[in-house]
């Protein structure tokens, strides 16, 4: 009787995985097999919860001669999906809250109007002054979750979709197990759904807020050597080359470089002022002397373009907040223009005004990829690698860690200290015992 109950439950579990798209096609049977194997052996760990039994079971599994490490990982994933997602839903149905009635009908208090929820989420993000990119990213994750809900649970006659804490948990599990997204991507999706639940749907996630974030391990950044930097920059010219040199010379993020304005360059003091950087923080960093002649020549061309825009009845640029109302003439002033403007005029997605925006980040990213290929680098270098290289090379030249922290705009010096580990490996590295064998053996 007990064996029949297990098999019925495992069949239901397999259907659950397929319906929620939690595993890739054809792999559901392996997940069911791992759970069957665990359930048949779990009685040897009496008096413990499944979370306490699991590490012991996995250790025993890893000790078997015919089991590979990837199979142990798959077994762990299958068992966790069984208890945390399938079994939890069957045993503990999600609770309803009175606030559900804001969107839901009286018959089904767990269903919400997705279009209204998306509009309210957008409005709340603008009230809280979220960056436009953050707004688009969060709305994208909300849309993917609503699509997932429709796929799993369907929609009612009014077009409302189901939203429960358990379904959110299943969606994130599906991202990790089936879509194989990175931990940072999973956390980004969770942050978007957490914002939706807190500010729009008023759903309490309880302990899930602390338990559903993926723990990312510490990794060393990719850093190029000075010779590699020199070879790479030699293979890119024009405005793209100027931007890459500026990013490396000042330790800028890509978005910070593309959004630089004329007024933020101080040629007399060799300083670049970064406005509203990550975390909406301002800071000052280095303006290299070597780059200034090329930058001045570039600004001369930009000014000619701006004057032509003014003559054509355009010439406005986006201003943050309410500055355009406070200073009506400022959007046309030279100091507020972007250092690296776009080649084309475009319509602002929020104000619907035709303006010359800053250059697209994709343009400089493509230029970086071509330069990496041309210089035959095997390191997975990106534009952000130049910022890592900036910090590491300053440390190699004896610049104080606190000063580098200010240049980079890090909130904590512990974030900046990651570069000390890179420098430790680059400066006077230890000699491998393999290279000392002859010396140690006297040969």
Amino acid 4: pLDDT:
52
Point out the catalytic residue in the list 122, 261, 278, 332: 278
Residues 22, 135: one domain?
A: no
Amino acid 45: pLDDT:
59
- Which CATH number fits the domain that encloses residue 255? 1.10.443.10
Of 91-100, 192-201, 306-315, 397-406, the range with the lowest mean pLDDT is: 91-100
In-domain check, residue 260? yes
**Greater model confidence, 96 or 419:** 419
Q: How many CB atoms lie within 10 A of CB 250?
A: 24
In-domain check, residue 132? yes
Residues 132, 20: one domain?
A: no
- Which CATH number fits the domain that encloses residue 111? 1.10.150.130
Residues 17, 34: one domain?
A: yes
Distance CA 212, CA 205 (A): 10
Residues 242, 356: one domain?
A: yes
Beta bridge partners of 271: 266, 286
Q: Which of 63, 91, 119 is the last residue in one of the domains?
A: 91
Does this model's pTM top 0.85? My answer is: no
Of 2-11, 132-141, 165-174, 249-258, the range with the lowest mean pLDDT is: 2-11
Of 390, 363, 419, residue with least CA distance to 272: 390
Residue 100's pLDDT band, with cuts at 50, 70 and 90, is very low
Residue 298 annotated among the catalytic residues of the structure: no
Residue 253 annotated among the catalytic residues of the structure: yes
**Greater model confidence, 213 or 245:** 245
Residues 296, 421: one domain?
A: yes
Residue 410 annotated among the catalytic residues of the structure: yes
Of 82, 103, 92, residue with least CA distance to 165: 92
Point out the catalytic residue in the list 57, 103, 338, 419: 419
Residue 2's pLDDT band, with cuts at 50, 70 and 90, is very low
Mean local confidence (pLDDT), 171-190: 84
Element (H, E) at 127: helix 114-127
Residue 263 annotated among the catalytic residues of the structure: no
Residues 390, 306: one domain?
A: yes
Q: Which domain holds residue 194?
A: 98-211
Amino acid 218: pLDDT:
74
| Averaged pLDDT score across all residues of the chain | 83
227-260: pLDDT as tens digits: 999 999 999 999 999 999 999 999 999 999 999 9
**Contacts of the segment 132-136: beta carbons below 8 A, 24+ positions apart:** 132/349, 132/350
Point out the catalytic residue in the list 53, 114, 253, 356: 253
**Greater model confidence, 123 or 271:** 271
Are 109 and 160 contacting, i.e. CB atoms less than 8 angstroms apart?
Answer: no
**Greater model confidence, 208 or 363:** 363
In-domain check, residue 401? yes
Amino acid 137: pLDDT:
93
Q: How many CA atoms lie within 13 A of 399 on its CB side?
A: 19
Residues 388, 242: one domain?
A: yes
**Phi-psi category of residue 105: left, alpha or beta, with phi > 0 → left and psi -120 to 50 → alpha:** beta
Distance CA 336, CA 332 (A): 7
In-domain check, residue 430? no
Residue 287's pLDDT band, with cuts at 50, 70 and 90, is very high
**Greater model confidence, 38 or 379:** 379
Residue 384 annotated among the catalytic residues of the structure: yes
Residues 386, 403: one domain?
A: yes
Are 201 and 124 contacting, i.e. CB atoms less than 8 angstroms apart?
Answer: no
Mean local confidence (pLDDT), 298-306: 95
Amino acid 97: pLDDT:
41
Q: What tokens does 426 get? A: 């680059």
Amino acid 412: pLDDT:
86
Q: Which of 91, 106, 124 is the last residue in one of the domains?
A: 91
Distance CA 347, CA 278 (A): 25
Of 90-99, 250-259, 277-286, 364-373, the range with the lowest mean pLDDT is: 90-99
Residues 230, 189: one domain?
A: no
The three-point CA angle 71-77-79 to 5° equals 105
Residues 140, 195: one domain?
A: yes
Distance CA 65, CA 75 (A): 16
Q: What percent of the chain has pLDDT over 90?
A: 35
- Which CATH number fits the domain that encloses residue 23? 1.10.150
Distance CA 25, CA 191 (A): 28
**Greater model confidence, 409 or 26:** 409
> Residues 236, 238, 240, 241: what is their CA dihedral angle, to the nearest 10 degrees?
50
Q: Which of 57, 74, 91 is the last residue in one of the domains?
A: 91
Distance CA 164, CA 175 (A): 17
Instruction: Give the number of domains in the chain.
Output: 3
Residue 215 annotated among the catalytic residues of the structure: no
In-domain check, residue 439? no
Distance CA 204, CA 101 (A): 14
Q: What length is written for the chain?
A: 443
Residues 187, 308: one domain?
A: no
Residues 83, 110: one domain?
A: no
What's phi and psi for 92, nearest 5 deg?
A: -125, 85
In-domain check, residue 436? no
Point out the catalytic residue in the list 114, 245, 283, 410: 410
Point out the catalytic residue in the list 53, 114, 358, 387: 387
In-domain check, residue 140? yes
In-domain check, residue 178? yes
Mean local confidence (pLDDT), 363-378: 93
Distance CA 283, CA 81 (A): 45
């Amino acid at each position: 009787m007990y064996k029949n109950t297990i098999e019925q439950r495992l069949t239901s579990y397999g259907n659950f995985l397929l319906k929620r798209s939690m595993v890739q096609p054809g792999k559901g049977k392996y997940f069911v097999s791992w759970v069957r194997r665990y359930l048949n052996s779990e009685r040897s760990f009496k008096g413990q919860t499944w979370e306490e039994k699991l590490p012991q079971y996995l250790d025993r599994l890893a000790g078997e001669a015919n089991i590979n490490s990837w199979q142990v990982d798959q077994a762990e994933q299958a068992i966790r999906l069984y208890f945390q997602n399938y079994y939890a839903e069957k045993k503990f149905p999600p609770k309803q809250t009175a606030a559900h009635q804001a969107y839901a009908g009286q018959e089904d208090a767990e269903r919400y109007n997705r279009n209204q929820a998306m509009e309210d989420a957008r409005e709340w993000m603008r009230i809280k002054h979220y960056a436009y990119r953050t707004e688009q990213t969060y709305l994208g994750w909300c849309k993917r979750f609503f699509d997932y809900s429709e796929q799993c649970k369907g929609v009612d006659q009014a077009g409302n979709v189901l939203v429960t804490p358990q379904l959110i948990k299943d969606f994130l599990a599906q991202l990790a197990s089936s879509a194989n997204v990175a931990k940072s991507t999973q956390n980004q999706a969770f942050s978007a759904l957490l914002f939706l639940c807190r500010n729009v749907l008023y759903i309490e996630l309880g302990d899930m807020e602390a338990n559903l974030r993926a723990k990312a391990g510490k990794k060393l950044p990719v850093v190029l050597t000075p010779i590699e930097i020199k070879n790479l920059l030699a293979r890119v010219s024009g405005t793209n080359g100027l931007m890459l040199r500026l990013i490396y010379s000042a330790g800028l993020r890509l978005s910070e470089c593309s959004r630089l304005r004329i007024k933020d360059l101080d040629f007399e003091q060799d300083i670049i002022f970064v406005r509203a950087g990550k975390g909406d923080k301002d800071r000052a960093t280095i303006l290299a002397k070597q780059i200034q002649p090329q930058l001045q020549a570039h600004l001369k061309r930009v000014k000619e373009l701006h004057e032509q825009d003014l003559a054509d009845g355009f010439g406005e640029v986006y201003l943050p907040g309410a500055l355009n109302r406070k200073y009506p003439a400022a959007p046309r002033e030279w100091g507020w223009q972007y250092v690296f403007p776009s080649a084309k005029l475009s319509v602002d997605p929020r104000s619907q005004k035709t303006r010359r925006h800053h250059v697209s980040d994709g343009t400089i990213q493509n230029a970086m990829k071509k330069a990496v290929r041309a210089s035959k680098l095997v390191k997975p270098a990106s534009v952000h690698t130049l910022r890592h290289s900036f910090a590491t090379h300053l440390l190699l030249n004896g610049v104080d860690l606190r000063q580098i922290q200010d240049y980079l705009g890090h909130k904590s010096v512990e974030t900046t200290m990651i570069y000390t580990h890179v420098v430790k490996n680059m400066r006077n590295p230890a000699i491998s015992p393999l290279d000392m064998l002859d010396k140690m053996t006297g040969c």
